[in-house]
Structure 1
Amino acid sequence: MMTTPTPEPSPDDVARGLAELERHLGEQAPPLPAIPSARPIETVGQTKRVQRLRAEVAEAHLLADLQGDDAPLLVDTAKVRKRRKQAREAARLHELGQDPAMRAWQAARMRRVLVAAAMVSLTLALAWSTAGVQTFAADGAPAWSPSWVFAWLVEPFMSLALLVVVGARAYLGTRGQPIESPTLVRIEWLFLALTLGMNAWPYLPGVAETFSISRLVLHILGPVVAVAIVTALPIILAAFTRLDHGTDARSGNPLTPLEYRANTSADSDPREHSDDPGQGLDAVTAHVRHLIAAGQLPAYPSAAAIRRAARCGMDTARSVRDALVKEAT
């Protein structure tokens, strides 16, 4: 059996086959996605003015939505926090100022300041009159002669003697034991009268060659100030010794503050005003524990916070505070 050989394809047949194959593959492949335009379709052909207005409208819508939120208004600014801190500090200082121990300390400090200022002023006043006393004591002696030199010592030794008496009365007056001695009072007035007379004598009318009221007042200024201080200082110290810094009528302790209450409303808890102190203290303590558990008070509240929250007296608030601290320890 004989076979017929297959003829070789010509170049045209190969080209036609490749073209058919490309066409067939092109029909079977999925369509390619369209390449998106770099510019939005809705903005194509629009001017920049329209685009700016569109952005402005979108921004306005966002701002309108955000303006309805009050959260920024609830945040304290730096100025508000500063004022709140200052107000809280002022309230605590006021509360501390009502404490009898603080009142006693303030009075003692003020008393020391006044006594020190009075003694300095008295010393300067007596030193001011030294020149006038030296002129009187020298009695026209030549400069640097023995009489002229010793005349400068007259006022200092009188002033030292006067300061001893005044200083002793001032010190004992600050200790609540003022000296009420007529003898010491006469000694003070004797020294002051001598100082005043020696300062004023050379400038009195009929004694001075040319009388001048200004020179007379200038030379008696020191003794007048000394008289005023010696007279006023015992009176001031006696007033300090009579100060009442607050005494508890129950204990008689001068450093125990008087009990006071905040203004109460009509719906206040009647347990606050119970006649039984123990029962009222237990009720307030239980109420404060409930407030601490509810988060309305800190774990260790101050007496002022307890007084405000429980609307009780300050003594009761301090007792509750101490009881809570004792329980914690």
Structure 2
Amino acid sequence: MSTVANPDPPPEPGPEETARALAELELYANHTSPAPRPATLPASATPPDGVTKRVRKLRDEVAEAHLLADLQGDDTPLMLDTPKVRKRRKAAQQAARLHALAQDPEMRAWQAARMRRLLVAAALVSLTLALAWSTAGVQLFAADGAAAWSPAWVFAWLVEPFLSLALLVVVGARAYLGTRGQPLNDRKLIRIEWLFLGLTLGMNAWPYLPWGLPDGTSFSFSRLVLHILGPIVAVAIVTALPIILAAFSHLDHGLSGRATGPTYRANVVAPEALVARARHLITTGQLPADAGAEKIRRALGGCGTDTARAVRDALRSDTA
């Protein structure tokens, strides 16, 4: 059997070949491997303009603070009237005008006339009720023990009504004339009044006096007072009403003569302050130079009519 001899081993590369092979390997690696990607951050972390969410939030807060500081320095809202202030101012203006109107002579005369009519009406109603109260006592006196529903008993109920009607005629006439400024104080009428009142009082009291009581009936003072209460009230009203009306007729409301007359009292002197104020209003064009008393009165805040006329005369004397 024959054997094959081993071939000779390849010769080892020299240094130059080794350096050339490494250079070719490095050149191949550079052409075939991908280029490395640069490291980047998320878009939300670094915006293109560099303004983050915290920056924007703080910038908005600073801008809002600057606007608030500018607005807080403006006092215009504090100068506006709230609804409560306007309500109070309206009430105060109304109270001031009502007070000024109450000082006007014509208003005072109207108030006095209204009160006088009210008092006269109340007095006549009270007098009518007082006389009606005494009707039962007069009927007992006039019936004089007559049987119920007998002619004498029925007609006894008519005694007090015709006495009361006659008395009311006299009292009503005096009251009405008193309200018209013509008090009626004739002595004959006054005696007629007292006659009717005396008869009513006597007939109410007689059945309840000790000597007028039936046998076996004890005297009662409270019963007597209860039955004479009506006549006593009537006497009081008839006595007081003329005095009250006379006092009303002598009231001085600041007017001379009639309430609607064009003249005023001679002793009314215009206050210098009002005259000076009226001159200022004329100078500023708020009041005509030839304004009448009514315009002057309204311009001066509702002063009295007599005072306004006096101011008007003082202004006219300046141009005379």
Query: TM-score with structure 2 length normalisation?
Result: 0.67
Specify which of 267, 282, 287 is matched with residue 289 of structure 1.
Answer: 282
Whichever residue aligns with residue 181 of structure 1, its letter is D
Specify which of 223, 235, 240 is matched with residue 227 of structure 1.
Answer: 235
Higher mean displacement: 95-104 or 130-139: 95-104
Q: Which residue of 2 aligns with 1:136?
A: 141
Give the conservation status (yes or no) of the 8 Å contact 1:136–1:199.
Answer: yes
Q: Cα distance, 1:224 vs. partner?
A: 0.6
Secondary structure of residue in 2 paired with 1:119: helix
Q: Which residue of 2 aligns with 1:256?
A: 264
Higher mean displacement: 121-130 or 254-263: 254-263
Q: Which residue of 2 aligns with 1:43?
A: 53
Whichever residue aligns with residue 42 of structure 1, its letter is T
Q: Does 1:83 align with 2:88?
A: yes
Q: Which residue of 2 aligns with 1:97?
A: 102
CA distance in 2 between partners of 1:119 and 1:64 (Å): 76
Secondary structure of residue in 1 paired with 2:127: helix
Q: Which residue of 2 aligns with 1:20?
A: none
Specify which of 235, 242, 250 is matched with residue 242 of structure 1.
Answer: 250
Stretches of structure 1 lacking an aligned partner (at least 5 in a row): 1-33, 273-282, 323-329
CA spacing shift, 1:228–1:55, aligned 2, 3 Å: farther
Q: Which residue of 2 aligns with 1:174?
A: 179
Higher mean displacement: 203-212 or 104-113: 203-212
Specify which of 169, 191, 203 is matched with residue 186 of structure 1.
Answer: 191
Give the conservation status (yes or no) of the 8 Å contact 2:278–2:287.
Answer: no
Secondary structure of residue in 1 paired with 2:210: coil
Secondary structure of residue in 2 paired with 1:152: helix
CA distance in 1 between partners of 2:269 and 2:63 (Å): 62
Please give the per-residue CA displacement for 1:127-180, whole angstroms capped at 9, x wherever unaligned. Answer: 011011111111221111101100100000000111111111112222222222
Specify which of 312, 315, 329 is matched with residue 309 of structure 2.
Answer: 315
Query: TM-score with structure 1 length normalisation?
Result: 0.65
Whichever residue aligns with residue 167 of structure 2, its letter is L
Q: Does 1:195 align with 2:200?
A: yes
Give the conservation status (yes or no) of the 8 Å contact 2:270–2:314.
Answer: no
Whichever residue aligns with residue 99 of structure 1, its letter is D
Q: Which residue of 2 aligns with 1:280?
A: none
Higher mean displacement: 240-249 or 148-157: 240-249
Please give the per-residue CA displacement for 1:38-89, whole angstroms capped at 9, x wherever unaligned. Answer: 9x94325x9xxxx6x9977776664444332221121112222222222222
Secondary structure of residue in 1 paired with 2:52: helix
CA distance in 1 between partners of 2:52 and 2:298 (Å): 65
Whichever residue aligns with residue 43 of structure 1, its letter is K
CA distance in 2 between partners of 1:221 and 1:91 (Å): 47
CA distance in 2 between partners of 1:234 and 1:305 (Å): 39
Give the conservation status (yes or no) of the 8 Å contact 2:270–2:310.
Answer: no
Give the number of the structure whose alpha-carbon radius of gyration is greater: 2
CA distance in 2 between partners of 1:204 and 1:223 (Å): 16
When the two structures are aligned, how many residues end up with a matched partner?
257
Secondary structure of residue in 2 paired with 1:210: coil
Whichever residue aligns with residue 244 of structure 1, its letter is D
Structure-to-structure mapping, 1:46-61, within 5 angstroms: none
CA spacing shift, 1:92–1:57, aligned 2, 3 Å: same
Higher relative contact order (CA 8 A, sep 6+): 2
Stretches of structure 2 lacking an aligned partner (at least 5 in a row): 1-42, 302-306
Q: Cα distance, 1:90 vs. partner?
A: 2.2
Please give the per-residue CA displacement for 1:228-268, whole angstroms capped at 9, x wherever unaligned. Answer: 0000011111111111221469xxx686377455584xxx9
Higher mean displacement: 180-189 or 92-101: 92-101
Q: Which residue of 2 aligns with 1:28?
A: none
CA spacing shift, 1:55–1:224, aligned 2, 3 Å: farther
CA distance in 2 between partners of 1:321 and 1:149 (Å): 77
CA distance in 1 between partners of 2:314 and 2:80 (Å): 34
